[in-house]
Amino acid sequence: MVNKYDVPSMWTKQMGAVVAKSTELAADAYDTSAGLAEMRAGYLKERKFWNEGGPQPARVREDQVPTPYGEVMVRTYYPVDADALPCIVYIHGGGFVLGNPDTHDRITRVLADRTGAAVVSVDYTLAPEGRHPQALEECVAVVEHLRANADRWGIVADDVSLAGDSGGAFLSLATFLHLRDVKGSAERFRCLLLFYGFFGLRDSMSWRLLGGTWDGLTQDDFNYFLNMFFADPEQIWDPSVDLLSHDLTCDVPPCYIAAADLDPLRDDSRCLAAILTHAGQPHRFEEFKGVIHAFLHNSRMLDEANDALEHAATFYREQANQPDPATEWR
């Protein structure tokens, strides 16, 4: 697409170093032309470096949770040993075709450490093995199962939040809306933590001006992900995908919304924040300057990644007047 910004000339020095490191680790991690198997292998290889270091939880457990499509694995990070902790269900990104709890391990460990919550990372079925709405309905089933079996999980059933990045931010908001509008169970969510999500815009200024090989979000790349995700291209018009078409003027938990100003998906977050602002719904919107999509992974080298995680954790704690955990990892 013509008229694109020269994004490499606009990103921060740290962001440039991150992109160079990611290219060195696995140049094909975001190359949709390389083939799905090669892209998944590159993504796992690249994420291994970014997941090194960071805080260690008191314990971690893996379990299988029943869903309408069979069992899915969830990994729970407990920052401390306690009878019951508040719970954050974390839904990873990766364009719906990449990723798992391993690729987002450091993010979830940091969130557990800084929020004091048990963080449950969902290994939902990727596309094209499972097409929409399978991943959404699996995530809904996980939330319902956790609440129904809170004692077994050591969590507080009435203190659950949803969090996710990119496609995981989409699935987080979609899971809440499905529970609210289809299941009638909107109560008992502390908040939503949404990092640079796709929320349903089919065109925007940020899509026209941003995106490239450095973030795997050219228009061709985005079409590739959507074609993998949908069994029918017309599903993009479905309310379960066009999340901004839902009634967001009431009964929405407090939302922390983080955007990257050099991200093609930036305007999805801006639009969501504008709707919530107009409706007087509680939220906090931050746009991090000079960084690209998926920057949250890069907390080993990128100040903005650490800031976004810290600000999200602060927002989370504020919703329950919860003190800052007395842990230090940096």
Catalytic residues: 166, 263, 293
* Cβ 264 vs Cβ 206: under 8 Å: yes
* Cβ 113 vs Cβ 57: under 8 Å: yes
Distance of alpha carbon 104 from alpha carbon 44, whole angstroms: 10
Bridge-partner residues for 121, per DSSP?
Answer: 75, 90
Distance of alpha carbon 238 from alpha carbon 294, whole angstroms: 26
Q: Would you tell me how many other CB atoms lie within 10 Å of the CB of residue 28?
A: 18
- The helix/strand/coil state of 308 is helix
Q: Would you tell me how many other CB atoms lie within 10 Å of the CB of residue 188?
A: 15
Bridge-partner residues for 60, per DSSP?
Answer: 77
User: CA 237, 162, 40, 70 torsion: positive or negative?
Assistant: negative
Please list the alpha-helical segments (H only) found in 35-159. 36-50, 105-115, 134-148, 150-153
- Residue 218: name the closest of 205, 227, 228, 209 by CA: 209
* Cβ 291 vs Cβ 214: under 8 Å: no
